[in-house]
Structure 1
Amino acid sequence: MRRRPRQSRAQASSQALQDAFVRVLIERGYARTTIREVVAVAGVGVGTFYEYFGNMHALAALCIHQRVKTLESCGRAVIAKNAGAPLDVRVNALLDQQVGDVLIDAPAWAALFQLERQISSPQAFRQQYLRHVGLWHEALRCPGLAQPPPLAARMVHAMVYGWVSQCLLTLGPGVDAASLRQELGRAVLAYVAQLGLGQGRAGVSHYPGQA
């Protein structure tokens, strides 16, 4: 059984390996990424690698899981911060976070999106998917008003994940972030508006940093 990094020093070693893996992945691609190169970049020994990971596949899977988990956790913080705000404000806030947190590290996410289907098991992918659908369900809920249809959160997540991932995979990490966010906002808000869930101020927020 592989060691779980519980203590601070062990966690630092595991995180260093994850960070190094992403750096090498961006530069060389998964097929050319080696354990020796990852540990060299991380500044640890090969033995340390095998304390935590059985192989490169296990390290790649953890990197994807941790990034997606952090994205979800930050999204829940945004929902909590905007609790009680009009529906469109909540939706725009979550869009800003979900898109912004990915595009601020676009090269890494582009590489991980490309790798995701090869690495993540169907069960892991399903769990990640359902957590993000749940995130959008919370954002769309309007206490005291009509609640979102069962498939609404799935549709919004599909729009967000599909648009962002496909833009990164086809256009590359240099994609125009402001245009991507604006077009996605138009599509999502138009869909949400026709659901008739609550009274909000229709409009598309500017991407962070845009006037």
Structure 2
Amino acid sequence: MARIVALTPRKTPRQGRSRASVEAMLTAAAQILEVRGIAALTTNGVAERAGVSIGTLYQYFPNKETILAELVRRQKMQFFEDMFGAVQAAKAMDLRRATETVLQASIQHHARAPELSRELEKLEDMLDVDEEDICAGGGLVDRQIVELLESFGIAQPETAARDLSALCRGMVHAALADGECDLAAIEARLRPAVFGYLGLAPEGA
């Protein structure tokens, strides 16, 4: 599929009723993606499921790409929040427990809706969602992970953080893209790889 350049929403809802309508449309779109996949998503289908007119939908979302971009943006921001919380908690732990906590957060983020996460993962690289808040959120989490690794005496923490992020992201994305939704199985495969990279002994050793 060719790269999609997504537009930003036409306007931001300010009144309670408008915000409720936008939330209903995004919820409807997420439900369609989760059950039927990307190919089934249309603006008419979203409007009908959300109980709004197509004219109301177009006031906020000029096309389905903007709806998808907003769903991806929200997922990314939720991921950053999950990771930030995990890193803060990990500061009071030893390296093994800290690693487990951050790894679990990176995986369990998808557990809220694994089928939806799988569909959104397919879209992330094709949608232009590099907005200021996303870049800031991602940068903050990256810095926190570098600092956490540095506090444990990990050599070249910036490189280690990048490598570990690529390792986890690559394995999770590949598994989801292949249709796998067993997050426990994905985590079980990731744990020895991450532990090995950090020089931690295998579990039970």
TM value normalised by structure 1? 0.78
Q: 1:60 aligns with which of 58, 68, 89?
A: 68
Q: 1:167 aligns with which of 171, 175, 185?
A: 175
Deviation per CA, 1:54-109, whole angstroms, max 9, x where unpaired? 21111111110110111111211122223221122112101111101213411001
Q: Tell me the residue number matched to 1:111.
A: 119
- CA shift, 1:147, in A, is 5.7
Deviation per CA, 1:3-58, whole angstroms, max 9, x where unpaired? 21344433332222112112212333333321111112122222321222221111
Matches within 5 A, 1:85-104: 85-104=93-112
Amino acid at match of 1:93: T
Distance across 2 between alignment mates of 1:204 and 1:38: 47
Distance across 2 between alignment mates of 1:105 and 1:138: 30
- CA shift, 1:131, in A, is 5.4
Distance across 2 between alignment mates of 1:187 and 1:180: 11
Whether the 8 Å CA contact 2:84–2:144 is kept in 1: the answer is: yes
Uncovered stretches (5+) of structure 2, i.e. residues with no partner: 1-8
Q: 1:140 aligns with which of 127, 149, 157?
A: 149
Whether the 8 Å CA contact 1:137–1:153 is kept in 2: the answer is: yes
Whether the 8 Å CA contact 1:136–1:157 is kept in 2: the answer is: no
Which stretch has the larger CA shift, 147-156 or 158-167? 147-156
Q: Tell me the residue number matched to 2:84.
A: 76
Change (3 A) 1:168 1:146: closer
Change (3 A) 1:75 1:169: same
Change (3 A) 1:141 1:33: same
Percent sequence identity is 24
Distance across 1 between alignment mates of 2:30 and 2:175: 20
Structure 1 ranges of 4+ moved more than 6 A? none
Q: 2:38 aligns with which of 16, 30, 40?
A: 30
Distance across 2 between alignment mates of 1:120 and 1:132: 20
Uncovered stretches (5+) of structure 1, i.e. residues with no partner: 195-201, 206-211
